[in-house]
Structure 1
Amino acid sequence: MHLALYLSDTGLHAGGWRHPDAENPDPMQLETWLKLVQKAEAAKFDFAFIADKLSIDDIYGADIATTVQYRPGYARPEPMALLTALSLFTRRIGLGGTLSTTYGEPFHAARTLATLDHFSHGRAAWNAVTSTNDGEAHNFSRQQLPPHGERYQRAAEFIDAVQLLMASWQPGARVADKASGVYVDASKVSYSHFHGEHFQIKGPLTVSQPPQGRPVQILAGVSADFQQVATRLAEVIFTVQPELARAQLFYQQFKQQMALHGRPPAACKVLPGIMPVVAATQRAAEEKRRELDELVNPLAGLSFMSASMNYDLSQHDPDELFPDIFAHISGSKGRFEYVIRQARQEGKTLAQVAKTYAASASFPLLVGTPRSIADEMIRWVEERACDGFVLMPADMPASLNDFADYVVPELQRRGAFRKEYQGETLREHLAVPL
């Protein structure tokens, strides 16, 4: 299986930063992140990647107070600058970062990504996102987030443009021949001439072709609009699948849709997120989960969900049945269709769902011993629900350490995960050649 680390200084669980095991180091210090990435590299993870958002959420109650008081994760470094620094102190692990296709430009993205791939000697990946709420729009001179379908249309064109720009240089273009006075072989550099609905780009790129040809393409989501883009372009998808049967159906349908684009199944790795809570005994693992859940403030969940939905939940009574609001969501849609349907079927209140969502963001929690967690991970891969996983640690660094020190060796002992890196580039780790 393939393993990736969701890189967070505090962990994903909203109670994680409050747990006694949490260290909460300064996220603006490189050592904070380097410690985590080097741990993942020692465990032979395929790659680590960092998410990003272009605003501090202020959807809930139209105010940032709730968000910044109860949820960490906003005062963080810019992803590409961070990954460039991390590339200098790591050797084999892949490094992925998030870029918005809604507010960015393909030329800027291509130049940044190509540079990172050069500096990391072929270990770069990028997660192309469509952004999710009006707060981000307000930071880019726009009044509101564009419609869901429009965002994905722009994203597809954005990715196509980035790939075309990176292809404007062929290998070996730089010759630096002193005798002839030729520095670049002009026959190996070409204009891009990209013409689309959103972008018209002449090119060529001002950075030579990256070591991997182009960095690995990550996409995250589950919606129909997402799948239209991802089945054609993604080489890794990061998805939310709360249960095995649902993951199996998604996996089957996704691979079938890839085939319609002439792509073999192995050309894209499906990696759902998981949040393991590891302990020596089942009882101890369940006790840690209980401790984590008790530390979640419901307001952290309400503000988190509001930002992801791009819908202000403060207008509803948190102690009443979760409202039927799916038609009004303009942010992330795929995951909330499931969340809302389940909440209403089970008669849960808004506050109950918010607290649960803040704990896991709908990712499955694997609570148990290293053996039982390895059992479940292997089961998902063998029963064709995924190609591996994105590890979403509950708290940091304890949850990462527990997984790397105890679960990974169990997976390795059973032949389910590599003991050593076999390649140098991220494409080689993932077995996704151009």
Structure 2
Amino acid sequence: MSRKLHLNLFVHGRGHHETAWRHPASTRRALTDIDYYRELARTAEKGLFDSLFLADALAVGDEVSHAAKGGLEPITTLAAVAGATERIGLIGTVSTTYTEPYNLARQFASLDHISHGRAGWNIVTSWVPGAGPNFGYDHQIEHGERYERAYDFLDAVTKLWDSWADDAVLDDREGGRYADTSRVKKINHAGPYHKVAGPLNVPRSPQGRPVYVQAGSSTAGRRFAAQYAEAVFTAHLEKATAVAFYADLKGQAVGLGRRADQILVLPGISAVIGSTEAEAKRLQRDLDELSDPKVGLERLSGRFGGHDFSHLDLDKVLTLADLPDPATVQTAQSRAHVIAALVEREKPTLRQLLHSLAGARGHFAMAGTPEQVADLIEDWFRSGAADGFNVMPPILPALLETFIDEVVPLLQKRGLFRTEYEADTLRGHYGLERPGSQFFDAPEAHAPAA
């Protein structure tokens, strides 16, 4: 069977352009209206997308006065979306820094049961400034320590999902036995950051555990992804860096004894689509002209750990000297490196940089025709830069509908994308194996001989 492209819908506010909420083509629904998310999920499912993804932030920045913020919490939202859809995967973001393993394990096991095996967990270490004080910390936890916590967290939470064998629930009414307790195990995890007795109080879910998704691209993030991630959302502004990242991550995973096809790389793409290139570029300009420099400066500051850029003239041509060294940033190091590389390569003014980041916050953004979008997707896919894409429509739902109506058929005609669903679970869509339990053999191996 030939290799097939994977497409994930990344839902962000009313669209990934920071001014989408003001554009007449964006939804007028409140960001707290569950029907908005249900409709987007059904649209993406109509387009045969592998999955829908909800990000999360654990603090509200000052830009909320001029940017649409304050959406619903991901896990409860996806549980509601599960009942309105049948096949599309459901990926939610939850932090390893400010969450307990037991609570997270219960929530995702429940979501996987509710959705009949469509749950994915986007693993984050919460770089957003202001998150720490919301959870009792008087400071931002440093980048290195956040990843140390994440390793301990993943060890604990994976044990919890493995603490029930697949056949532990007997539900034997006649015999009076509900569960085989020999197939349920305390985990007694005692790590440097977390102590968890277990077992989990939710039986093993359809996928065994949710699909592990991760988005960090720093050195520490790649090392973590190579060990744990099954899908990686990543940001690249040019194909060359995407190819290098793809090869490095797959190589690290293989070096750890994993198969390269069991870790998917999905760069972000935010495409303004028009019937002509000129029409697409006009729409891009319309969006950019609605932007507020204060919002852009707040976002740029956040990417660099709170650094103040307000003293710079908006029409100043930037150099690397105007940015903090990305290696010293304790928030999102990978995104800081992407921005620094853009400044070094293109030498934009501050205003131009803010417009560039307004479109997709450091992900690849373009404006063009459906054919141009499909050409780029095919080129990156065939060039070893991607296994698929994290689709980030600048305006929702309008440009999602355009992508599905105009771009998806081109990808199908070229034999790159499915024409119907071939699986019912997220693991099935992604071509991932179902993990066994580290504590129990498979039910067929445990069953007595006939």
What is the TM-score of this pair, normalised by structure 2?
0.91
What's the counterpart of residue 204 of structure 1? 199
Residue by residue, what CA displacement relative to the aligned partner does 1:289-341 show, whole Å, maximum 9, x if unpaired? 12112121111111112223321325533445461312552100112123124
Residue by residue, what CA displacement relative to the aligned partner does 1:146-172 show, whole Å, maximum 9, x if unpaired? 111110111122122111100000112
> In the TM superposition, what is the alpha-carbon distance from 1:352 to its structure 2 partner?
3.4
Cα distance in 2 for partners of 1:390, 1:208 equals 31
What's the counterpart of residue 284 of structure 1? 279
After superposition, the Cα gap between the structure-2 partners of 1:120 and 1:14, relative to the gap in structure 1 and judged at 3 Å, is same
Alignment of 1:14-413 (within 5 A): 14-57=18-61, 64=62, 67-73=63-69, 75-314=70-309, 316-319=311-314, 320=316, 321=318, 323-326=322-325, 328-344=328-344, 346-413=346-413
What's the counterpart of residue 448 of structure 2? none
Residue by residue, what CA displacement relative to the aligned partner does 1:342-382 show, whole Å, maximum 9, x if unpaired? 32564444443223212221211232221221111011111
Conserved 8 A contact 1:133-1:331: yes
Conserved 8 A contact 1:132-1:309: no
Conserved 8 A contact 1:9-1:25: no
After superposition, the Cα gap between the structure-2 partners of 1:24 and 1:329, relative to the gap in structure 1 and judged at 3 Å, is farther
What's the counterpart of residue 60 of structure 1? none
SS at 2:390's partner residue?
strand
**Larger displacement relative to structure 2 (347-356 or 160-169):** 347-356
1:7 aligns with 2:11: yes
What's the counterpart of residue 428 of structure 1? 428
After superposition, the Cα gap between the structure-2 partners of 1:359 and 1:378, relative to the gap in structure 1 and judged at 3 Å, is same
After superposition, the Cα gap between the structure-2 partners of 1:266 and 1:346, relative to the gap in structure 1 and judged at 3 Å, is closer
Identity value in percent: 38
In the alignment, structure 1 segments of 5+ residues that lack a partner are 58-63
Cα distance in 1 for partners of 2:346, 2:406 equals 36
Cα distance in 2 for partners of 1:309, 1:148 equals 12
RMSD: 1.5
Cα distance in 1 for partners of 2:423, 2:383 equals 27
**Larger displacement relative to structure 2 (223-232 or 352-361):** 352-361
Cα distance in 1 for partners of 2:51, 2:345 equals 38
Residue by residue, what CA displacement relative to the aligned partner does 1:185-221 show, whole Å, maximum 9, x if unpaired? 1111011122211112111000000100001000002
Amino acid in the other structure paired with 2:381: V
- Deviant stretches of 4+, over 6 Å: none
What's the counterpart of residue 442 of structure 2? none
In the alignment, structure 2 segments of 5+ residues that lack a partner are 436-450
Cα distance in 2 for partners of 1:373, 1:346 equals 22
Amino acid in the other structure paired with 2:400: L
Count of paired positions: 425
Amino acid in the other structure paired with 2:36: T
